[in-house]
Structure 1
Amino acid sequence: MAKSPGLPYHGCLSPEGILREIQINLLECKVCFETFSTEQRERRPQNLSCGHVLCLECITALSHPLLRKLECPFCRQLCTVDSTSHCQVLCDLQQLLVSRSPTSSVPPRWAKGSSVTTTSLHLCAAFGGWGTLINPTGIAPLGSSGTIVVVHGGEKRVVVFSLQGGKLHSFGPEGKASGEMCYPVDVAVTPSGYIVVTDAGDKTVKVFTSRGNCVLTIKDSFQLPWGVDTDSCGHILVSDVQAGTLSQVKVDYCHGVILEHQTVVSDLQSPKAVACCHVTGNSAVMEHPSDITPSAERHTFRRLRVFTKDFQLLYQTDTFSLTLQSTVRLNMSAVVFSRDGDLMVTDSDQGMVFSLGKLQHGPVLTPLVVDHLIRPVGVIVLNNLLITLDGGDHTVKIYTPKSDSGATMK
């Protein structure tokens, strides 16, 4: 049986959802993200001796031209090109799905009759994969020059990448000492370039320079810190899942000193993702009430709250409200503001990214990313790019507007 680099579990899926999972998890090469094809020789699925499956083109590209050997990009086992074999089971599965739905080989990602409009973005690049990234959980832009920071469960748990996928440097080995990481969950970067990480393992928030030198560790202030972002002044916003709070921390970064630490919102239910808008000063928090009372609903329930600069509630919506308005049931997870203040959320069940607009007059639900995502756990906007962190296949994926779509990431 063909191996996958890691299939996500989403609980009870509809038949259409199961078909979509098969399309994305089994019928795409996880190196080039192209769909397997029996008609194109270079796209034929091939078994490596370790059991993982790549397309023939990627096997050729990754193997040594003389030794005809390659290292599996998922398990790092050394394999020979001569030992590869055609993966007939995936070809048969693909033919079965095509015969089941002759008009479209890709199952719909939202309900028929949905009132949403579509402004699809195009996948232009992807990098990472198992080994380079291990169960990544957070992503943030490091300045505007095209550098990003990712936290994951690897040997060094904070990694800085270029947009071309080059690993610039990494830091934060596993441990509880200064400069070490137990279980990093989320990451943010201040306007002046300091990297802030929430560590759920030892219940701290840690601040580093862009080169990885530990500046400050905030201890004994949180029960279970989770989401983090920074505002235009460099103040840190942290959600606490267990305490149900949103805290603001003001720091003197040059001297590594906490100037002020206050709870700004205290009535939240299992708050996780946090986002700040540098244009308006608003902040957004994603609540997971169903994590507290999982038996209350069969389906996952999420609540999104948006606060003003002085933390007055500006707007809120939730899974149920969005379903009534658009027939689309979102499992909202990550959240981010665009450059002009539109709110964007990821859907970790459907593998999509939606724009909700500015929310003051109600959400205008617009799918932005509808392809190639498995389980998005993070999303950022950098220049005119939308960059997602996919926990399903441990990758960073970069999307741009299609030339004919009129989409923009402003």
Structure 2
Amino acid sequence: MALSPDPRQCGSLSPEGILREIQINLLECKVCFEKFCTQERGRRPQNLPCGHVLCLECVTALSHPLLRKLECPFCRQLCGVESTSHCQVLSDLQDLLLSQGPTSSAPPQMENGGFSLTSALTSTALHLSTAFGGWGTLINPTGIALLRSSGTIVVVHDDEKRVVVFSPKGNKLHGFGRRGPAIGQICYPVDVAVALCGHVVVTDVGDKTVKVFTSRGNHVLTVKDFQMPWGVDTDSCGHILVSDIQAHSLSHVKVDYTHGVILDHHTAISDLQLPKALACCPVTGNIAVIEHLTDDTHPPERHQRTRLKVFTKEFHLIHQMDSFSLTMQSTGRLYMSGVAFDEDGNVIVIDSEKGMIWSLGKLHNGPVLTVLVGDHLVRPVGLTSLNNMLIVLDGGDHAVKIYSAKSDTAPKR
């Protein structure tokens, strides 16, 4: 878990980026994801003897009721409740930032050709309602998918069992796909999708295959003949869509899930540039792909550019925009690293560098930028939507975070 801004990276951040790092990494409790607040006793930041900081409510919740001792959730050092103390410096920092910050509560949108990233950090359309997982339950997760009929959440990560399944409330149901190269095992999963029939589809860059399992984890089939499969999704017919970053293509695979047979496997789109994340719209069948553009004249870590392409279900290009063109319409640089569709057909993109989620609208008349999520995210790597909620996979916190329009309940882990 990231607990403080990396000084090696702060030199390359804008003032808005530094503000975001402070707000996420310093001014919120990394157990409950609530912002510290001196005025609320339970939300006051408390120093542990090991140096880590939790809110008072989490210190109380994690401590033994009789022994009055707790184990630090980050370094596992044992300490007594009496040895904790109020972290005055964080309270002072928060008061200082709040006194200088904007007061508007409306979600920022495109107005007069631009929007403010500073206001986006404190004014968002959706709010964190639930968070679960955390280090140990999830280890470096990379992909998330949803079985819409039940709300079951499926995540791929780097544990001994590569696929883990959660209930809609965040309870771990089971895991499968043991680490390894054998049939039914998974070497290195990157992304996951769930077909309407409930079958789980995983891209495995370790042996360059796509693997299909039942919802209980029984191996159905393995699809080969990829160079480097990456992103994956399924359409309304259960057909599998796979991006291949080395073949620079999008593949379309028809399978018979009942008999475990590949019916057709062909390249649907070629000449893509490092295609990674992809998503299929449940409303229109449109397919969105994120390309990672190379620029040989600049160091890639400082000048990465991405491009969003949207195709019809017949694979005809209908929309295209890159991070540079979106930046020209705003006051800050955008970096699209993930993509999804909501249930109304709006395109949603992840900016993993800033830890933000944006809606681009339906793109009929060009993008309409709206910030959906601008807080409580460290490094989002995947998302899906259900019933006006966004379900985000945060690789920085090794957690699943659910955002909704109202935050009626406190986030739970």
| TM-score, length of structure 1 as denominator length | 0.88
Residue 160 of structure 1, CA deviation: 0.8
Counterpart selection for 1:126 from 124, 131, 146: 131
Q: Please list every run of 5 or more consecutive structure 1 residues that lacks an aligned counterpart in the other structure.
A: 404-410
Q: Would you say 1:138 and 2:137 are equivalent positions?
A: no
Structure-2 separation of matches of 1:256 and 1:324: 48
Report the counterpart of residue 407 of structure 1 in structure 2. none
* Matching of residues 169-188 of structure 1 within 5 Å: 169-188=174-193
The total of aligned residue pairs comes to 398
1:258-306 Cα offsets, whole Å, 9 max, x none, are 1111011110111000101122221110001138875479432110001
* Matching of residues 253-264 of structure 1 within 5 Å: 253-264=257-268
Residue 40 of structure 1, CA deviation: 2.9
Alpha-carbon distance change, 15 to 267 in structure 1, aligned in 2, over 3 angstroms: same
Report the counterpart of residue 85 of structure 2 in structure 1. 85
* Matching of residues 8-407 of structure 1 within 5 Å: 12-95=12-95, 97-98=97-98, 101=100, 115=114, 120-219=125-224, 221-290=225-294, 295=299, 298-402=302-406
CA contact (8 A) 1:74 1:129 kept: no
Alpha-carbon distance change, 103 to 267 in structure 1, aligned in 2, over 3 angstroms: closer
Structure-2 separation of matches of 1:297 and 1:75: 30
CA contact (8 A) 1:375 1:390 kept: yes
Alpha-carbon distance change, 37 to 256 in structure 1, aligned in 2, over 3 angstroms: same
Alpha-carbon distance change, 105 to 49 in structure 1, aligned in 2, over 3 angstroms: farther
Instruction: Give secondary structure in 2 for the equivalent of 1:57.
Output: helix
Structure-2 separation of matches of 1:283 and 1:253: 22
Alpha-carbon distance change, 362 to 47 in structure 1, aligned in 2, over 3 angstroms: same
Structure-1 separation of matches of 2:392 and 2:288: 18
Structure-1 separation of matches of 2:381 and 2:300: 24
Structure-1 separation of matches of 2:200 and 2:4: 29
Alpha-carbon distance change, 105 to 157 in structure 1, aligned in 2, over 3 angstroms: farther
Structure-2 separation of matches of 1:289 and 1:31: 36
Instruction: Give secondary structure in 1 for the equivalent of 2:247.
Output: coil
Structure-2 separation of matches of 1:362 and 1:66: 61
1:178-234 Cα offsets, whole Å, 9 max, x none, are 232222111100010000111122222111111111111223x11211100000011
Alpha-carbon distance change, 127 to 399 in structure 1, aligned in 2, over 3 angstroms: same
Q: In terms of mean alpha carbon deviation, does 205-214 or 87-96 score higher?
A: 87-96
Residue 316 of structure 1, CA deviation: 0.6
Structure-2 separation of matches of 1:293 and 1:136: 32
Structure-2 separation of matches of 1:281 and 1:105: 37
Alpha-carbon distance change, 294 to 164 in structure 1, aligned in 2, over 3 angstroms: farther
CA contact (8 A) 1:158 1:172 kept: yes
CA contact (8 A) 1:197 1:207 kept: yes
Structure-2 separation of matches of 1:240 and 1:153: 21
Instruction: Give secondary structure in 2 for the equivalent of 1:315.
Output: strand
Structure-2 separation of matches of 1:144 and 1:293: 48
Q: Please list every run of 5 or more consecutive structure 2 residues that lacks an aligned counterpart in the other structure.
A: 408-413
1:66-103 Cα offsets, whole Å, 9 max, x none, are 1223343334454443443333443354355456x266
Structure-1 separation of matches of 2:197 and 2:97: 51
Read off the aligned partner of 2:286 and give its amino acid letter. N
Read off the aligned partner of 1:249 and give its amino acid letter. V
| TM-score, length of structure 2 as denominator length | 0.87
Structure-2 separation of matches of 1:196 and 1:312: 25
Residue 360 of structure 1, CA deviation: 2.6
The alignment's C-alpha RMSD in Å is 2.9
Structure-2 separation of matches of 1:132 and 1:141: 18
Residue 120 of structure 1, CA deviation: 0.7
Q: In terms of mean alpha carbon deviation, does 319-328 or 58-67 score higher?
A: 319-328
Structure-1 separation of matches of 2:172 and 2:190: 20
